[in-house]
Amino acid sequence: MSLRFALLAALSAFLAPVSLSETLAITGAEVHADPGNAPLARATVIVRDGIVVSITPDGPVPEGARVIDATGQVVTPGLFNGFTRTGLSDI
């Protein structure tokens, strides 16, 4: 149980500075976005106002976007919604 709490705390700390009214570019990551297809190497994920709007291999970064260099990391955009109440009634 403490491991889950630690992971949740770490994730919360990572997401806390993200504003829903900004453009975010996650660059250089291996992106697993489409089940059944190969992951995209060195991809760029663009998140605008909290919504994933594009995933492209070596894609351009929009002007004014906050950039997160995820080189060597795996990104799974849209895997879960951290602000959902789904499943909370079971806890």
Distance, in Å, from the CA atom of 49 to the CA atom of 27, rounded to the nearest integer, reads: 17
Q: In sequence order, what are the beta bridge partners of 23?
A: 48
pLDDT in tens, 14-68: 555 555 678 999 999 999 887 788 999 999 999 998 888 999 998 899 999 999 9
Q: How confident is the model at residue 77 (pLDDT cuts 50, 70, 90)?
A: confident
Could you tell me the pTM of the whole model? 0.65
* Gap between the Cα atoms of 63 and 71, Å rounded: 20
Distance CA 58, CA 61 (A): 9
